[in-house]
A and B are shown apart, each in its own frame.
Chain A
C-alpha cells in the first residue's frame, strides 16, 4: 500500500490510493443504514407517487411550473424557493452548531450514494482484505468476473439514479414508456447520462476525496462549531499510552491505557483518517470508528466509549450545554423562517395576473374618434380547483375596458393569455396614466389579484 515516496506533487492523473473501508456493525451503523433507506427510498419512490391524476412532486421545467402535492408554483412564486433555500442553509447552520457534522455522516448525497456503491463493491468483491488482495492480484478470469459484476451493478444503479433524477423534472411514467420505446428526447437522454455518470464517478471512485478536496462545507463547518458542539472524539486520557496486550493481562500495571492499538478505528474509516490524532477536517462524523471501538472494548471487557460522541467542553471536564446563545439564535431564526414560510404559502393569492403593454405601438387612433392601448393579459389559477373570475378596470373614469369577455373560467393550474384593449374618447386625457386590472371572484366578489400597467394618451 505504500506510495512511492516524494510523488505527492504528481500530475492530474497520478494514481490515487484507495481507501478500503472495513465493514462494521453496531448502533451507528444501523442508524446510518436506516437513514440511507429513508433518504434513497424517498428519492427513488417520490417521483412515482400520484396526486389527483398527476405526479405528486414534479418540477415541470418545460411548462415552467412546480407541482408539490396540492400546490402549484409558478415563476412568479420564485420568492418561496429562495425562502426555502435560506431555511435549508440555516438548518445546516443550526444542526452543525448543535450536532456537528450530522449532515456529512448521515444525510449528504455523497455519503449516502457512496455507501450503496461500497455495499455493491463488497457484494461482488468481498470484504476489505479480499478486496485488497483482489486489487493486488494479477488479472485472471475470476478477477475479471468480479470486477465486471461490480461494474454491471454500479452502471445499472447509476443509470437508475440518473433516470429517477430526470423523473423529477419530466413526468416519470411517460419517461419510462419512452425509455422502453427508445424514444427519449435528446436532453432527457443527455441528463440521464450526465447525472448517472456523476453518481458513478462521485460515489464509485471519488468518494471521500470529494469531501476532502472539493466540498466547501467541510472547510466552513468549523466556523459554526464551538466547545459545545457534538464531535466524535477519542478519549486520549483514557486510551494512552496505547499498546497491544493479552486479554487478561494487567495492562495498567504495565502502564498502558485502554487503547489496544488494533487500528480497527482506522480500517473502518471511509475517509482513511486516524481519529486518535484528534479532530480532523476530513472526519465526516459517520461514527463507524465508535461502533468498531465499542465492539473491541466489549470483547476486552473494558467499558465502552473510548471513542464516542462528545463535546470539547466535556473532554475538558466542563458541563455541556445544548442551550447557548449560538444554538438559541440559530434555532429562533430557523423557527421564525419556517413558520413564516408556512403562513406565506397558505396566504398566497390563488390568482396571479400580469398586464403587458403592446410593445409595438404607444397608442392607436381608431377612425371613430377613440384612442386605444392594447395589452396582453395573463391570468394564472394557482389553486387546486377551478375558479370563475370577473376582470375589471381601475383607473381614470374616462377609460373603458374592451375585451371579448371579462368573465373567465380557469381550471386548476391553468394559465390564460388574451388581448384586451383600453380606450377613451380622443382628447379626454393626455400623457400617461396608471391603470390596474383587477380579478374578482365571480361567486363572492372578493378581490383576488391585480396587475398594474400604464395607459398612454397622445
Chain B
C-alpha cells in the first residue's frame, strides 16, 4: 500500500465544514451559557406563579430544555455568521 496524497481523505465540503464547525462551537457556547445561567437561576424559581409551564416543573427538565434552547440560539447565530461571511457583499471587489 503506497501512501501518496491520493490516500489522504479529501477535505470536507464547505457545507459540511460549516455544519461541523457551527454545531460544535455552538455546543461549547451552550454549555458555558447553561452553566452560567443555571448557577445564577434555579429553574424552579423562574416561573412567576403557581402554574409553571411543563419545562419548569422539574429542575432536570429546566436544565435540559434550557441547554437545548441555548444550543439552538447559538447555532442560529453561527449559521447566520457563516452565511454572511460566505456571501460577502464585497467578495467580488476583494478578489475572492
By a beta-carbon cutoff of 8 Å, the part of chain A in contact with chain B is 1-3, 7-12, 14, 16-19, 61-62, 64, 75, 78, 81, 129, 132, 185, 187-188, 190-191, 209-210, 212-216, 263, 266-267, 272-274
Residue pairs across A and B with Cβ atoms less than 8 A apart, 6 shown, are A11-B15, A11-B16, A18-B9, A64-B59, A132-B1, A267-B1
**Which chain B residues lie closer than 8 Å to A14 at the CB level?**
13, 16
Q: Mark B1-27, 1 if CB is under 8 A from A, else 0.
A: 111011111111111110111011100
Does A214 lie within 8 Å of B21, measured CB to CB?
yes
**Which chain B residues lie closer than 8 Å to A18 at the CB level?**
9
Does B60 lie within 8 Å of A187, measured CB to CB?
yes
| Complex partner residue of A12 from B16, B28, B40, CB under 8 angstroms | B16
Max count, chain B CB within 10 A of own CB: residue among A10, A12, A62: A12
Given known A-B contacts A61-B59, A81-B39, A185-B60, A11 and B13 have beta carbons under 8 A apart = yes
Question: Quick check: is B79 within 8 A (CB to CB) of the other chain?
Answer: no
18 extra A-B contacts, CB within 8 A, seeds A3-B9, A187-B60: A8-B11, A11-B13, A12-B15, A12-B16, A14-B13, A16-B12, A61-B59, A75-B39, A75-B42, A78-B40, A81-B39, A190-B64, A209-B9, A209-B20, A213-B16, A214-B24, A215-B24, A263-B3
- Complex CA distance for A214 and B3, rounded to whole angstroms: 25
- Complex CA distance for A129 and B2, rounded to whole angstroms: 12
Question: Quick check: is B88 within 8 A (CB to CB) of the other chain?
Answer: no
Among residues of B, the one whose C-beta sits closest to the C-beta of A10 is: B13
**Which chain A residues lie closer than 8 Å to B24 at the CB level?**
210, 214-215
Max count, chain A CB within 10 A of own CB: residue among B12, B28, B42, B63: B12
Among residues of B, the one whose C-beta sits closest to the C-beta of A262 is: B3
- Complex CA distance for A239 and B5, rounded to whole angstroms: 19
Does A1 lie within 8 Å of B60, measured CB to CB?
no
Does B10 lie within 8 Å of A7, measured CB to CB?
yes
- Complex CA distance for A2 and B28, rounded to whole angstroms: 35
Question: Quick check: is B81 within 8 A (CB to CB) of the other chain?
Answer: no
- Complex CA distance for A216 and B58, rounded to whole angstroms: 34
Find residues 45-96 in chain B having any chain A CB closer than 8 Å to their own CB: 58-61, 63-64
**Which chain B residues lie closer than 8 Å to A16 at the CB level?**
9, 12
Min Cβ gap A234→B in Å is 14
Does A61 lie within 8 Å of B63, measured CB to CB?
yes
- Complex CA distance for A12 and B21, rounded to whole angstroms: 13
Interface size on B, residues (CB 8 A): 33
Does B12 lie within 8 Å of A213, measured CB to CB?
yes
Does B25 lie within 8 Å of A216, measured CB to CB?
yes
Max count, chain A CB within 10 A of own CB: residue among B3, B16, B19: B3
Min Cβ gap B61→A in Å is 7
Does B6 lie within 8 Å of A213, measured CB to CB?
no
Given known A-B contacts A12-B16, A64-B42, A19 and B3 have beta carbons under 8 A apart = no
**Which chain B residues lie closer than 8 Å to A191 at the CB level?**
64
**Which chain A residues lie closer than 8 Å to B8 at the CB level?**
17, 272-273
- Complex CA distance for A16 and B11, rounded to whole angstroms: 9
| Complex partner residue of B3 from A10, A75, A266, CB under 8 angstroms | A266
- Complex CA distance for A17 and B14, rounded to whole angstroms: 16
Given known A-B contacts A12-B16, A213-B17, A3 and B10 have beta carbons under 8 A apart = yes
Among residues of B, the one whose C-beta sits closest to the C-beta of A18 is: B9
- Complex CA distance for A455 and B3, rounded to whole angstroms: 78
Does A209 lie within 8 Å of B39, measured CB to CB?
no
- Complex CA distance for A100 and B3, rounded to whole angstroms: 26
**Which chain B residues lie closer than 8 Å to A7 at the CB level?**
10
**Which chain B residues lie closer than 8 Å to A10 at the CB level?**
13
Min Cβ gap B88→A in Å is 18
- Complex CA distance for A391 and B88, rounded to whole angstroms: 64
- Complex CA distance for A426 and B17, rounded to whole angstroms: 71
| Complex partner residue of B9 from A17, A129, A185, CB under 8 angstroms | A17
Does B9 lie within 8 Å of A272, measured CB to CB?
yes
Does B10 lie within 8 Å of A17, measured CB to CB?
yes
Does A8 lie within 8 Å of B39, measured CB to CB?
no
Among residues of A, the one whose C-beta sits closest to the C-beta of B10 is: A3
- Complex CA distance for A224 and B71, rounded to whole angstroms: 29
**Which chain B residues lie closer than 8 Å to A75 at the CB level?**
39-40, 42
Min Cβ gap A276→B in Å is 10
**Which chain B residues lie closer than 8 Å to A274 at the CB level?**
3, 5
Does A272 lie within 8 Å of B42, measured CB to CB?
no
Does A12 lie within 8 Å of B1, measured CB to CB?
no
**Which chain A residues lie closer than 8 Å to B64 at the CB level?**
187, 190-191
